[in-house]
Amino acid sequence: MFKSIKTGVLAIVLIGTAIIAKAQKAFEAGTITYSVEYQLSDDQKKIIDPSVLPSESKVEFNGNLAKVQIDMGMAMLKVISDASVNSALVLVDIPMIQKQYAAKMSKEDIEKQHSSIKYSDFKATGEQQKIGDYNTEKYTYKDNNGTEYELWATKEIKLPLGANPRGFTDLKATAVKFINIQDGVKTLMTLKKVSDGKVGPFSLEVPKGYELKTMEELKAMRGGN
């Protein structure tokens, strides 16, 4: 009898595991939509007007590669990144003056943009919350400076390397609500939806017609220098 009970319990566990595995949806290519909330410091508020910043971000992904496109009014900015080699290509289109510029970002450029922050020690807390369409769990983690953070993640979907937010490779789940820090600006990103779709293929090769610049030169143009 004891043996039959053990067998029954094992069967329930295996069935439950199979249901969970079947429920997880894996994506290879498509589009991720995030809502964006800006957490500006007092000094940043003096030079940045959050009302003109985009409240939504869309990331197209295909395997290891992803593309983010940002309408900046006078210019269109596109960033294509390859997570497998940690490099990127920045494309700037300025229709008013009929100019197109490109700049390549090395691994060092990308790390500098993110203030060389690296994340580790991801720990699930067991706290549950439904965010949008996703059942999520709260995780704690820290950066290489010892600063502690928290995020909400789900195991209901699985994204390829190129679609995962930078720094979350060791998180064994998909980040749904998390802090992103780029060029010193902190934002709260919340995943709204992921949709299948044929996007790409993307390439880090400079397209024909684009004038190649360094990242320093692009930043100087942005600053009006």
H or E segment to which residue 92 belongs: strand 87-94
Pairing of β 25-26 and β 157-158? parallel
CA distances from 175 to 6, 18, 104, 194, 218 (A): 36, 23, 27, 12, 31
For the chain, what are the domain ranges?
Answer: 25-222
**SS3 at position 140:** strand
Return the DSSP state at 42: H
Q: What is the pLDDT along the chain (225 residues), one digit of tens a residue?
A: 434 434 444 444 444 433 444 457 999 999 999 999 999 988 988 888 877 788 889 999 999 999 998 877 788 889 999 988 889 999 999 999 999 999 998 888 887 777 678 899 999 999 999 999 999 999 999 998 899 999 999 999 999 988 988 889 899 999 999 999 887 888 999 999 999 988 878 999 999 999 999 988 888 876 544
Give how far the C-alpha of residue 221 lies from the chain's centroid of Cα atoms, to the nearest Å.
26
CATH T-level fold of 25-222: outer membrane lipoprotein receptor (LolB), chain A (2.50.20)
Q: What is the pLDDT of residues 138-197, one digit of tens each?
A: 999 999 889 999 999 999 999 998 898 888 989 999 999 999 988 788 899 999 999 998
Mean pLDDT of the chain: 84
Beta bridge partners of 75: none
Pairing of β 211-213 and β 99-105? parallel
Predicted local distance difference test score (pLDDT) of residue 23: 59
Predicted local distance difference test score (pLDDT) of residue 204: 93
Write down the H helix ranges in the chain: 2-23, 42-47, 107-113, 215-222
